Amino acid sequence: MMTTTPNPLDLAQTDPFDIAREAAAQIAEATGVARHDIGLTLGTGWAEAADAMGETTATIEATDIVGFGKAAFGDHLGTVRSILLRSGKRALVVGARTHIYEGHGVRQVVHSVRTAAAAGATVMVLTNGSGGIPARWTPGTPVLISDQINLTAESPLEGATFIDLSDLYTPRLRQLARSVAPDLEEGVYCQFRGPHLETPAEVRMAETIGGHIVGMSTGLEAIAAREAGMEILGMSLIMNYAAGVQDAPLDMKEISDVGWASQAVLGPLLAQIVNSI
């Protein structure tokens, strides 16, 4: 039924938009759904939202879809799900995020977003688990992304492709999210390359240039979503205080525990927001 999935590195040798269209066609065939309305990438701490937002009518292994590789991070499920939302719309949930630090190139990082767009989605919801700079954001706090700073020295745009990013994270969607949860705060997301966590000096730099959240995903995906003409909603789970905010070293187990413990709250929250779109 499906063609052989190329190694993610093969994306460097092939038109990425052709691969995205082929992936979307395979998803349509495998799910029986010709068009999806909303694309979602569920990062650490957000996975339970998929179960809360509606009826999953099809689940596909991501590696069965052209251009997708195996999820390298254990908190990512490695599946693609078609969900019939309570609102009646269709959501395509991608649990196979690729990070820039994996070394497969930017095309692979944004393949899921381009596939969602090719599948018909006009809204892209991007979530992640990150470090927070403001001391008032305790671990477990969800925060809307209002803007971003790309510190990866990369871009998914190729050649003379000029895209306006002045309202990258759609104000309409942020307002809608606050109508569901009025106490949601907003912050500027800084994407670093990783995989190492940021140093206290790097966190101070991020704060000085206007950042509130530090992480290793989302920013490049958001640029690709805007290139595709999508509206974008971004949300971060603050999993830890960023390095140097508190006078203590970061504990990776404690950070992971926050992600698992937060899912029961974040899932219903995001599900309600998505069903309001």
The span from the CA of 104 to the CA of 26, in Å, is 22
Question: Positive or negative CA dihedral for 103, 222, 161, 114?
Answer: positive
Q: For the chain, what's the residue count?
A: 277
The span from the CA of 253 to the CA of 250, in Å, is 9
Q: How far is CA 92 from the centre of its chain?
A: 13
Catalytic residue among 22, 48, 185, 198: 198
* Residue 147: CA count within 13 A, CB half-sphere: 10
Q: Which residue has the tokens 């269709």?
A: 90
Q: Cα torsion for 24, 28, 29, 34, to the nearest 10°?
A: -140
Q: Which value, in Å, is the radius of gyration of the alpha carbons in the chain?
A: 17
The span from the CA of 257 to the CA of 139, in Å, is 10
Q: Cα torsion for 242, 97, 191, 123, to the nearest 10°?
A: -110
Question: Positive or negative CA dihedral for 215, 12, 73, 29?
Answer: positive
| Residue 198 is among the residues annotated as catalytic for this protein | yes
Question: Positive or negative CA dihedral for 94, 95, 97, 102?
Answer: negative
Active site members:
198
